[in-house]
Structure 1
Amino acid sequence: MAELEFGKQLSATRTPIPGLVVFDLPVHGDNRGWFKENWQREKMTALGLPDFGPVQNNISFNDAVGTTRGIHAEPWDKWVSVATGRIFGAWVDLREGPTFGTVFTTELDPSRAIFVPRGVGNSYQTLEPDTAYTYLVNDHWSPEAEYAFLNLADETVGIDWPIPLDQVEVSAKDKAHPRLAEVAPIAPRKILVTGAGGQLGRALRQGLGDQPHIEYAGRADLDLTDPSLAGARRWRDYGTIINAAAYTAADLAETPDGRRDAWRANADAPARLARIAAEHGITLVHVSSDYVFDGSKDGAYAEDDPFSPLGVYGQSKAAGDVAVATAPRHYIIRTSWVIGDGKNFVRTMASLAERGVDPKVVDDQIGRLTFTEDIAGAIVHLLETGAPYGVYNVTGDGPEQSWADIAREVYRQTGHDPSRVTGVTTDEYFANAEGPVAPRPRNSVLDLSKLRATGFVPESAVASLERYLRG
């Protein structure tokens, strides 16, 4: 029987399997026995362990040397340790991707533990009698979940078991598991894109592509304002929700019906998503707006500037931001003056230019255009790089412009005389408007330094405009 090592420092060691991490645990003992902190969230997450949110603790007791179990891969994460005894462990990556089939082996005793990410096959062989193998998991067993299994004797992975398999106790079920060539890899956790039929939703589909684990949902597919939303999906199967759904009719939001609809879509729905994300460890991406500010600041708005919305639309968006921020894993994408592949300001100006119309356009609101494909690109970048959670401003780069400046640029780039555009104040523009008019922030310029620090370089809004008009 191996002697237990006392007095180690808590440390983490990466393995060839991405996300599979071995931890050395401090064990304190004397002639009476020993004590250890088997799971200590604060210390272990500080060393890079995912804050995986365990919900169940399981123990497998094995009374004989050579008991061999596995190889099983479940759609949840596991924190595995040994309470008593010692094991030889073998882990095989059964996830889709370039590391499928990668093997790692090591011995575990009470002074060592291992974090096994979702989709990595787990197996072990006991090296001492009365061995108790324990694991914390972050989901409950379900017959609807997708599992993967690999034969313990698979020649492809070639695990060098300390005790030959023909000399040990193996269950009939484990003996019948398939070889690696027959294993269906475990797909990544699902990505849900809401608002998939909108301009940003369509840009996200172009950026993310059509893959089996990505779900695009419009309102007909998933009503985010439904009180039963928490039971609408098996949410533990989802790793990311990108909320591109919103009520954006700022003027209509000033009407009684519009006010109700704006708050339901922009505040209540994100709050429901945030509760779901917090409960199931989902990363929630939510798209916000410059309208959460009143536009009175001298200079660009930073992510941490205090809210000061002027109208119902901005108020409902600010409330949604507050709700989303309660989800531990969240990205709030704050943007402005969004242009996509549908009806929008740029297309309207291009049409007016072509038809010989000389428009009056607001010149006392300043900001930068933001194209939906750039928003989609920033979202994909933040997710793929694992950027720190929080709020990020995402707009086009370059000099600030008024709406009149942008209209003149559209005229110029389409071969028309930009002097045909006349600048007017916001008050002049809406002087004869029929129906309610939402107050607009005069300054919508957003600071982009935090986004740049993640390695994402926003394209110049003028350059994006030129590309957009060419397309």
Structure 2
Amino acid sequence: MTAFSKPLARHETGIPGLVLFDLPVHGDNRGWFKENWQREKMTALGLPDFGPVQNNISFNDAVGTTRGIHAEPWDKWVSVATGRIFGAWVDLREGPTFGAVFTAEIDPSTAIFVPRGVGNAYQTLAPDTAYTYLVNDHWSPTTAYTFLNLADETVAIPWPIPLADVEISAKDLAHPRLADVTPMAPPKTLVIGANGQLGRALRAEFGDAAHLEYAGRDELDLTSSHLATARRWRDYGTIVNAAAYTAVDLAETVQGREDAWAANATAVAALARIAAENGITLVHVSSDYVFDGTQPGAYREDAGIRPLGVYGQSKAAGDLAAATVPQHYIVRTSWVIGDGKNFVRTMQSLAARGIDPNVVDDQIGRLTFTDDIARGIRHLLEGRAPFGVYNLTGGGAPTSWADIARAVFAAGGHDPARVTGVSTDEYFAAATGPVAPRPRNSMLDLAKIEATGFAPRDAAAALRDHLAAGSPVTGGTEPS
């Protein structure tokens, strides 16, 4: 008997992401009515806004009809239009809850959200039962499913009607036991800009599991008009965008302006559209250059953006595009040092060659190493931190570029007094090419990401560790 007038409520099940809901059903002498799917109310209770695209109904004539156990690579909202079922759900995803079971009776006053990779099965307890489900991907004959035998002794589902006495398809009877099931892999994660300094750090942090994909410019052209069809995007759960145009001064030229906007804004807008349409989490790496550096103290995530030059303007535009994705992390960083040409290597090279540099001392900030950015991105994703903007830099006291140069000289056994501090204006006074304006204050407030449990490394300690580990002293770039 359907229960009437229950309040809308959610109940956790013990299987991560599998959530049972009570649905209000309003009945009288004519029958009953319910809101089977009400996006606003249900997402307010924590149901993922999973974007259903297809509605299916399975009608069953007889009591005891039994179907499953099938795990599909999409999410489902399962309910009963008429009748009653005994439902069984088994976690068939990779991970510590593989094989976990949840069972419940479902009638029109109940529904359950079944996340991707959780096996779904049911047995009808009333004649003329209509089992309905909304799914967030279109069915395809080439889709890879994961199956489990209904009679598997390991999960030992307590079917109300013995399986020997019910209608089951021959195909369902032939599914493997749990010991022979290949777990469903997580949705794919795509790292874009994989050949750059941050991209290489992300590969080192995340590894090379089968569901991880790394793409450089040659593998994925973000400016292509065919980007929307370059992948089967429904197979992806996360995109990490580590690609960017970072030639700050060249961005002030005619060609550089076009290139900066293409990579930092137009490409991000295209990725944002793809992520929003396919329910993908977009991680986008931003910059302190979205600020003008005139504010006293550290910039919080909600500070007003006021970029000074073309590079900062294009990055700010990319941030705005990324923020349109319902599931987004915008990771704002500064003074990045990674595996490749960077300020630290330049100072090592100058020190070793006996060159005494002039280094700007009126730009204040903190170094951020790419392995720490990668670690922070992984923390946000795996910890399921609230979506939004997060500052992520090295921790500790602020320094100038001249301070950092002196620390590099000293660590190499050279006299730090060989470094002369100069103003930004003095440093660039003799420049013959374009010079981009720089924020004088690049300090970013870290309280928000620290509140998620992430501990940024002290920037000075990280620099010492970096230098102690040994770094080649060839090549390099000037401070930006």
- Between the aligned partners of 1:145 and 1:9, the Cα distance in structure 2 is 37
Q: Aligned partners of 2:47 and 2:77: how far apart in 1?
A: 10
Please name the residue that 1:11 is paired with.
Answer: 9
Letter in 2 for 1:222: L
Distance in 2 (CA, whole Å) between partners of 1:450 and 1:183 is 41
Equivalent residue, structure 1, for 2:282 = 284
Equivalent in the alignment of 2:358: 360
Do residues 236 (structure 1) and 237 (structure 2) align?
no
Letter in 2 for 1:425: S
Q: Which amino acid aligns with 1:364?
A: D
Q: What count of residue pairs does the alignment treat as equivalent?
A: 469
Q: 1:31 aligns with which of 29, 32, 37?
A: 29
Could you tell me which runs of 5 or more consecutive residues in structure 2 were left unpaired when the two chains were aligned. 470-480
Gaps of 5+ in 1: none
Q: How does 1:431-470 map to 2 (within 5 A)?
A: 431-470=429-468
| Residue aligned with 1:455, SS | coil
Contact residue 146 and residue 186 of structure 1 kept, 8 A: no
- Whole-Å separation in 2 of the counterparts to 1:384 and 1:71: 28
What is the match of residue 88 of structure 1? 86
Q: Secondary structure at the match of 1:82?
A: strand
**Corresponding residue of 1:402:** 400
Once the two structures are TM-superposed, the CA of residue 361 in structure 1 deviates from its matched residue by 0.4
**Alpha-carbon separation, structure 1, partners of 2:396 and 2:225:** 43
Q: Which amino acid aligns with 2:12?
A: R
SS in 1 for 2:133: strand
1: CA distance, partners of 2:95 / 2:129: 34
The answer as to 2:69 corresponding to 1:71 is: yes
Match 1:125 to one of 123, 126, 130: 123
Deviation at 1:155, TM superposition (A): 1.9
Aligned pairs for 1:374-413 (under 5 A) are 374-413=372-411
Q: How big is the shift at 1:143?
A: 2.7
More displaced, 82-91 or 40-49?
Answer: 40-49
Q: Percent identity?
A: 77
C-alpha contact 1:11 1:47 (8 A) present in aligned 2: yes
Q: Which residue of structure 1 aligns with residue 220 of structure 2?
A: 222
Distance 1:54 1:268 in 2: 28
Which whole-Å deviations, capped at 9, do the CAs of 1:56-109 have from their partners, x for residues lacking one? 111111111111111111000000001100001111111111211111111100
**What SS does the aligned partner of 1:206 have?**
helix
Matches of 2:383 and 2:41 in 1, distance apart? Answer: 24
154, 157, 163: which one aligns with 2:155? 157
**1:263 aligns to 2:261 (yes or no):** yes
Counterpart position of 2:474: none
Residues 188-203 of structure 1 correspond to what in structure 2 (within 5 A)? 188-203=186-201
CA offset at residue 151 of structure 1? Answer: 1.4
**What is the rounded CA distance, in whole Å, between the counterparts of 1:269 and 1:35 in structure 2?**
46
Distance, in Å, in 2 between the alignment partners of 1:209 and 1:129 is 51
TM-score by length of 2: 0.96
**Aligned-partner Cα distance in 2 for 1:350–1:405:** 14
Distance (Å, rounded) in 2 between the aligned partners of 1:363 and 1:424: 6
Q: Alignment RMSD, CA only?
A: 1.0
2:78 partner SS: strand
Residues 157-190 of structure 1: per-residue CA shift (max 9 Å, x gap): 2212111112111112112222222221110000
Distance 1:234 1:435 in 2: 44
* Alpha carbons 1:250, 1:438 under 8 Å: kept: yes
Matched, 1:330 2:313: no
Q: Match of 2:183?
A: 185
Decide which of 164, 167, 170 is 1:169's aligned counterpart. 167
SS at match of 2:390: strand
Cα separation, 2, equivalents of 1:346 and 1:273: 33
